[in-house]
Amino acid sequence: MKSKHTALLLSILVFISTLFWPQLLDKQQLLIFSCISVLILLVPKLRILAVIPITAVYITVYTSITLTGQPYASAQIVNKSSLATFVDGHDHNIVVQIVSLISSNNQGYFNAKLIELDDDHLNYSPLIKMRWYKPNVVLQAGQLHRFEVSFKPVYGRANPGGFDRQKWFYSEHIAYQATIKKHLLKVNISKSLRASFYEKVQKTTKDLTHQGLLLALSFADKSLISFEKKQHIRNIGISHLFAISGLHIGLLFSFTYILARCIYTRLLPVRYMGWTSLRLINITALFVGAWFYAYLAGFSLPTQRAFLMLFITVLIFSLKRKCSKTDLLLLVFFIVLIVDPLAILSLSLWLSFIAVAIIVSLLWLNPTRAIIKTEQQTSSVIKTVITYFKRLLYLQLGLTALMLPVQLVSFSGISWTTILVNLIAIPLFSLLIIPLVLVASLTTLIYQPLAFFLFQSSDLLITYFFKMTAFAKGSYQFFSVSDGRIVIVVCFMCAGLFIIHFHNKSQRQLSYLFSFVLACLLSLTLFKQDKSWFVEVIDVGQGLSVLVRTQERALLYDTGASYPSGFNMVDSEISPYLITLGIKQLDYLVISHSDNDHAGGADHITQTVAISERWAGEPLNSIHPFKQCKAGQNWQLGMLTVEVLSPQRVGKNNNNNSCVLFVSDGNTSLLLTGDIDKKQERKLLNSYADKINSTVLIVPHHGSRYSSSEAFIEGVNPQWAVFSAGFMNQWHFPAQEVLERYEKYAIKTANSGLSGFIRFQITPQAINMETFREDIAPYWYHHSFLP
């Protein structure tokens, strides 16, 4: 048993280690690891260590086949059926089966299974992300359609503090995206039973205030929840209630179990059924309750994992096997990873298991026997209820406190009222709202008026809940990385003091020493002085945003794009990074010119930080007044001097109206150029030939062939040239001829479209350049599978 336990732990550790692999095993490495496995298995005393290479081979083969269609990762794809070979810039003819439930808000962005590719039926069905900019056909889950598309690998903008979209895509088994150029044919318009069911519920709830939340609770479809509502749910700390997972599936299992037990004990008494009675109740609860809810949620990967965990637990208890809580938790974790190794990339998996581990630990410290004993000693219903709520409060307080470091690391923030809100929300949603929503959903198949009444009741309860928790609206607090570390250290200090101080009175002096050491380490981080300054190109896709900071002073140059849907680069990429730095005020916000990919977030940024001065190269359509940039202006940013080189006057060409900034510490300099073209470059050379020379150049117009003339490159003579462009963008920025011009002058280049976030740390002694994908987080899941 001990060796099995060790093997289990070794395998789990290998799974976890994949989070830090720079790349998956290639063909040669797979062969080497396979040979090592065989050799180790031949030595009886070392046989258990064979788990390590075997698990590594299994992870690579599973991941590579799931994501690319071939059994190993390679820079040169040789398998012709691999999707990577079709990332060639050409259009392809495909047949897909729609997987996502389609609503009015997501009809241009959904998931599908690839069935045919260029008239060849595939021997596997990879999941792909479909992007349709102008949908003109109504789609629904289960249907088969033929499209003309172009392929590219899925891409996540890569910034510190931002949502790791590419990692999330891979955890969802998606490695490629298809951009729809044309709808060709409806191959099969038969909807899935779930899609038809969804449409009935959607039609029934269309006039209700919280339709999006009701659909999220029943079908795991969040597409109709507004951005503002999502923010509010996050701020009051109840996001977990609207993500169908272990909580919801376990809840329905419990309800079905109680109902089945009541029915079976009356119709099929235990004295007749014997040992099959408990198993029959478990099977009924598992498949009639939990499986049904998983089906409504579309068997999404988190739902599959939750159902699998419940299935394993029920199976072990049904077999009446002795298994400790820790062993059960490890076994479930191991089986989940064996079934889906890519689950290791899922944040939801980690949050679920950490929460369950904390609950198990709390129950171990305060076992249920105490409650049972109390209940046996008194028949008072009031005392039983009080005991129940005391236990609920105990678990909620413990879970919230112990999850605090996890939340800070995962989300850079916490809600101070989470405990109070969840004490209201969990019983309300668990005992009333979720059961009502599920019964209402089923009733839509039988009697629509009754279904509407039940949905309306649920909608009203949600409205009352939000009114009751209005006090928590502004309680969500973001923390910078340094502040988060302080909170985590304080938490560990308090936990250490509590354990050592009260566990053994003779060790109290040790607890004081422990706290003193932690406090000293914390003070070292607080009083660390840094004389360097930073130029940071934030990855905003096809657009531009550059942060210049020094000595607690900051200038933001451009804010990326915003879109009619409400999505914008400030909320998605820029604000999360500013929060991790602890920046609450910008000394200068400079918008180069009015193009959306530069100025789209000019108003959104004010929701995150205070702004001392706003400048722009030309008038903007903004709710805030911007001062006009004009050549010759000078500003001070800490130890840095900022000089405006252009425009001299506002003209008709908005690209050439870009506010060009020259930033210098007297030794090292930066040139920010916006979208100027060759004509404006010549004017800059004529006016500032003696001072335009810069160490770091943010390349004009994302590397367009109409900019970066040879004369300009030679005049600026930078050591580094940075292209801010979208990954595989439709304009093909940066142009190949522009890249060749910079290479001709031996200038080092960096491209945010390939490397993600780019940081220059500048000191009097040196310039240190690092990128997100190559230096900050150089892991395999931050790179795309290219041919």
At residue 372, the pLDDT reads 41
In angstroms, the CA 278 to CA 286 distance is: 12
At residue 317, the pLDDT reads 78
At residue 754, the pLDDT reads 94
At residue 371, the pLDDT reads 41
Q: For 138-181, what is each residue's pLDDT tens digit?
A: 999 999 999 999 999 998 899 998 889 999 999 999 999 999 99
- Asked if residue 265 is part of any domain, the answer here is yes
Both 462 and 491 in one domain: the answer is no
- Asked if residue 212 is part of any domain, the answer here is no
- Asked if residue 417 is part of any domain, the answer here is yes
At residue 246, the pLDDT reads 67
- Asked if residue 165 is part of any domain, the answer here is yes
At residue 623, the pLDDT reads 92
At residue 369, the pLDDT reads 44
Both 353 and 450 in one domain: the answer is yes
- Asked if residue 783 is part of any domain, the answer here is no
Both 494 and 461 in one domain: the answer is no
Both 614 and 570 in one domain: the answer is yes
At residue 118, the pLDDT reads 92
The token pair at 657 is 């109206």
Both 303 and 439 in one domain: the answer is yes
Both 451 and 486 in one domain: the answer is no
At residue 273, the pLDDT reads 60
At residue 287, the pLDDT reads 86
The token pair at 761 is 């740390």
Both 167 and 56 in one domain: the answer is no
Which residues lie closer than 8 Å to 141 by C-beta, 6 or more apart?
98, 99, 100, 101, 102, 191, 192, 194, 195, 198, 298
Both 513 and 412 in one domain: the answer is no
- Asked if residue 399 is part of any domain, the answer here is yes
At residue 522, the pLDDT reads 61
The residue from 159, 191, 223 where one domain ends is 191
pLDDT < 70 positions in the chain:
1-4, 73-81, 245-247, 268-277, 360, 362-389, 391-397, 399-401, 482, 484-485, 489-516, 518-519, 521-530
Instruction: Indicate the pTM of the whole model.
Output: 0.88
The token pair at 463 is 């409205």
Pairing of strands 92-98, 109-117: antiparallel
At residue 648, the pLDDT reads 92
Q: How many domains does the chain have?
A: 5
Which residue, 127, 24, 19, is CA-closest to 784? 24
Q: For 550-584, what is each residue's pLDDT tens digit?
A: 988 999 999 999 988 788 999 999 999 999 998 99
Both 537 and 438 in one domain: the answer is no
- The whole-chain average pLDDT of the chain stands at 86
In angstroms, the CA 333 to CA 61 distance is: 20
- Asked if residue 412 is part of any domain, the answer here is yes
Which residues lie closer than 8 Å to 33 by C-beta, 6 or more apart?
25, 53, 56, 57
Both 489 and 458 in one domain: the answer is no
At residue 504, the pLDDT reads 57
CB distance 178 to 149 below 8 Å: yes
Full domain range(s) for residue 638: 533-778
Both 325 and 284 in one domain: the answer is yes
State how far the alpha carbon of 464 is from the alpha carbons of 208, 460, 587, in Å: 14, 6, 42
At residue 676, the pLDDT reads 97
Both 29 and 101 in one domain: the answer is no
At residue 2, the pLDDT reads 56
Q: What is the CATH classification number for the domain harbouring 93?
A: 2.40.50
Q: What is the CATH classification number for the domain harbouring 594?
A: 3.60.15.10
Burial class (CB in 10 A: 0-12, 13-18, 19+), 418: buried
Burial class (CB in 10 A: 0-12, 13-18, 19+), 119: exposed
- Asked if residue 100 is part of any domain, the answer here is yes
The residue from 439, 457, 478 where one domain ends is 478
At residue 86, the pLDDT reads 87
In angstroms, the CA 354 to CA 696 distance is: 44
